């Protein structure tokens, strides 16, 4: 395989990145990686811009070393440049929602084994306005936590940086709600909402069962809308989200669709968070590109019926 590595040297706690030479060295010696070209990002949009420079036929696989944000940039680079190269993920971020959903290993032996015995599967790609995502887009209460937690604090504290930022934000945000209009498949409704999320995989914000019915190549995304509730109901709901049994709750609207339009009906300035990065303000038009890309996954995942 001719491989292009896009490495974010600052994502997560920077532990996996330190093992990258060993992983690549082994795979080159075993002749699995025939040529390797590594690019280290230095800041925002570096990963996307580097991917957009790749020429058709130059590589067989893009390997993303980073978290959900780096992966999102690589996906955007490919989709915007109309480059449909297969990609693989070496999870090196703080939360790694997408890689965790696919149970992608993060240890040296597991990663090497994935490249020795893995296989390609099709996955859907979601589009919101002019940007793409493969995991989650969300707006509302606490969705800006990922953006507010600093790179330095994520490197030192890992996931706890998000929890710390979340705890600071809860009292400020819990009493807010936003009036939103949702339209899909000729239906429309208006709701006072605390948060809504549009998911391709089931995992978001570290909650593995956020969208328990989601499938990566079912041609649909799962929409999860949390209505305005009080703090007591919020605590109960929080526990239900951990277990994945929130979707039948009276304060939650959950459905699957391949199209969605969301508009703000009051003067709130609501931004969409796309895979942990700022995706600009509402309104938002969501579309799905069914089987838009191919991802390289470990062989044992064939037993996962969600794929
Ligand atoms: N060399 C660098 N130094 C600092 N920041 C960088 C560098 N390269 C890229 N970035 C920034 O890193 C962000 C992406 O980080 P990424 O999401 O991959 O890691 P994470 O936030 O630790 O993990 P996760 O999103 O899974 O929680 C991008 O917004 C980009 O601006």
What mean pLDDT is predicted for residues 9-16? 81
Residue nearest to atom 10 of ligand 1 (CA): 43
Asked if the model's pLDDT at residue 156 lies above 90, the reply is no
Whether 65 contacts 76, CB under 8 Å: no
> Residue 36: its pLDDT value, please?
97
Asked if the model's pLDDT at residue 94 lies above 70, the reply is yes
17 Cα to the center of ligand 1, angstroms:
13
Least confident range of 21-30, 56-65, 160-169, 298-307: 160-169
Range list for CATH 2.60.200.40 in the chain? 133-141+176-290
Considering the segment(s) 2-117 as one domain, its CATH architecture is 3-Layer(aba) Sandwich (3.40)
Range list for CATH 3.40.50.10330 in the chain? 2-117
pLDDT tier at 80, thresholds 50, 70, 90: very high
44 Cα to the center of ligand 1, angstroms:
8
The per-residue pLDDT for range 236-277, each reduced to its tens digit, is 877 888 888 888 888 899 999 999 999 999 887 788 888 877
Q: Which residues line ligand 1 (CB under 6 A)?
A: 8-12, 41-44, 46, 66-70, 93-96, 151, 154, 276-277
CATH number among 3.30.43.10, 2.70.98.40, 3.40.50.300, 2.60.200.40, domain 133-141+176-290: 2.60.200.40
Dist CA 117 CA 33 (whole Å): 13
pLDDT tier at 305, thresholds 50, 70, 90: very low
Asked if the model's pLDDT at residue 51 lies above 90, the reply is yes
Residues noted as catalytic? 277
Asked if the model's pLDDT at residue 199 lies above 80, the reply is yes
> Residue 13: its pLDDT value, please?
73
> Residue 132: its pLDDT value, please?
96
């Amino acid at each position: 395989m001719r491989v292009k590595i896009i490495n974010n040297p600052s994502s997560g706690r920077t532990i996996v990145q330190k093992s990258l030479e060993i992983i690549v060295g082994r795979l080159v010696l075993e002749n699995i990686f025939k040529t390797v070209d590594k690019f280290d990002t230095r800041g925002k949009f570096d990963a996307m811009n580097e991917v957009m420079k790749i020429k058709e036929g130059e590589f067989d696989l893009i390997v993303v070393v980073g978290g959900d944000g780096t992966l999102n940039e690589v996906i955007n680079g490919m989709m915007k440049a109309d480059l449909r190269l297969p990609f693989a993920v070496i999870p090196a971020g703080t939360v790694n929602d997408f890689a965790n959903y696919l149970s992608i290993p993060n240890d040296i032996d597991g990663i090497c084994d994935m490249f020795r015995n893995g296989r390609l599967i099709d996955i859907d790609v979601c589009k919101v306005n002019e940007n793409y995502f493969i995991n989650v887009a969300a707006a509302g209460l606490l969705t800006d936590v990922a953006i507010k937690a600093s790179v330095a604090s994520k490197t030192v504290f890992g996931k706890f940086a998000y929890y710390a930022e979340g705890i600071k934000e809860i009292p400020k945000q819990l009493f807010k709600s936003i009036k939103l209009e949702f339209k899909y498949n000729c239906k429309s409704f208006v709701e006072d909402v605390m948060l809504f999320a549009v998911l391709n995989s089931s995992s978001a914000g570290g909650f593995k069962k956020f969208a328990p019915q989601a499938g990566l190549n079912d041609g649909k995304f799962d929409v999860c809308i949390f209505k305005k509730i009080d703090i007591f109901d919020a605590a109960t709901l929080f526990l239900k989200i951990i277990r994945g049994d929130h979707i039948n709750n009276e304060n939650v609207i959950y459905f699957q669709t391949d199209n969605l339009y969301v508009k703000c009906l009051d003067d709130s300035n609501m931004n969409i968070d796309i895979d942990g990065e700022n995706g600009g303000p509402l309104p938002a038009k969501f579309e799905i590109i069914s089987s838009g890309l191919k991802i390289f996954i470990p062989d044992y995942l064939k037993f996962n019926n969600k794929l």
